[in-house]
Amino acid sequence: MNRSFLATLMLGLIVGCSVEQNSGSGATSSGTGGDASGSSGAVGEVRRITADGSSTVGPITSLVGEMFEAEHSDIQVPVTITGTGTGFGRFAAGETDISNASRKIKDSEKEKCQEGGVEFVELMIAMDGISVVVNKENDFVDALTTAQLKQIWEPGSTVKTWKDVNPEWPAEPIKLYGPGRESGTFDYFTDKINGEEGATRDDYSPSGDDNLLVTGVAGDKYSLGYFGYGYYEKNSDKLKLLKISSTDKPEDGVLPSPESIQNGQYTPLSRPVFIYVNKASLKRPEVAEFVTYYLNDGQKAIPEVGCVRISEADLKASRDALTEALK
């Protein structure tokens, strides 16, 4: 599958398995039921499998859906991207069959699922590395330590210019771009870098659309931003990727890559990503077949969108969890 087609797919411009981006493993939930949107439908009627949530996982689910649709002309898999948190809200209300998530579900979100009568199965489907990027023309920074990232992004940060981070760097204002608070990437980054989920400075440019973050960083020579590795990979001609060091030495930094993400060398910003499936939806044959496909032939889609395949052991755990949920 060529890159130009994939880019079109990810912008939601194809018919059928569309991606709509709004700015805005193996564990199962407790609950009593709850039916998501969609129906088995009469003979000849188009059946829909609805998914919403993460901007990192959305492109995977969309591409898997497009592959699945090619074999099932009577099924559509529309994918909306509103962010992990917003996606879980819709999922708990029974509005979607699948919730795409770039982090694990929170206890508060589990409680909402219980209140809505939604039981679910959690399935790890891929790995991602949150990528820290600067403008392509930036010629003075190649690596940052996690301490420097915290200095830049922590609540109450006094960092205004690059010189505030390193006296050898220019006294130019840093323009910051990052996901909004509805994002699982935001949750994970703030937890691992600032030490508390949701803790961040407020004077940055947030967006739930990672393509807008790419555009922002690409358009400002002294900018810095972060988002999933797949968005860097498909825009590598516009961005410069930074090494991240978990020690106090920038020279110990590691670039995110499929290898460093999978083997854990890219720390602490490597992470597993998930889909959560409504168990009531799994009673519909098309949903059961699609999720089974996702964990088998659908795995071919993962590197196509810049994410990393999980280990065979983790994949088996997800397949086993699905098998149990289908009983």
Identify the bridge partners of residue 101 per DSSP, sorted by sequence position: 274
User: Does pLDDT of 210 surpass 70?
Assistant: yes
Do 3-127+273-325 and 129-262 come out as alike in CATH topology? yes
Segment 122-151 mean pLDDT:
98
Long-range pairs of 254-259 with CB within 8 A, sequence gap ≥ 24: 256/129, 256/130, 256/131, 256/229, 256/232, 257/129, 258/303, 258/308
Q: Is 80 left (phi over 0), alpha (psi -120 to 50) or beta?
A: beta
Would you list the domain boundaries of the chain?
Answer: 3-127+273-325, 129-262
The pLDDT score that the predictor gives to residue 45 is: 85
Domain 3-127+273-325, CATH among 3.30.505.10, 3.90.1150.10, 3.20.20.70, 3.40.190.10: 3.40.190.10
| pLDDT more than 90, % of the chain | 86
Whether residue 153 has pLDDT greater than 60: yes
What's the token pair of residue 247?
């020690």
- pLDDT over 70 at 306, yes or no: yes
Q: pLDDT tens digits, residue range 156-191?
A: 999 999 999 999 999 999 999 999 999 999 999 999
Given a cut of 50, is residue 152 above it in pLDDT? Answer: yes
Mean pLDDT, rounded, for 70-84 = 97
Q: What is the mean pLDDT of residues 299-313?
A: 95
Query: How confident is the model at residue 42, as a pLDDT?
Result: 54
pLDDT > 70? residue 8: no
What's the average model confidence in pLDDT over 231-243? 97
Superfamily, domain 129-262:
Periplasmic binding protein-like II (3.40.190.10)
Q: Is the pLDDT of residue 1 over 50?
A: no
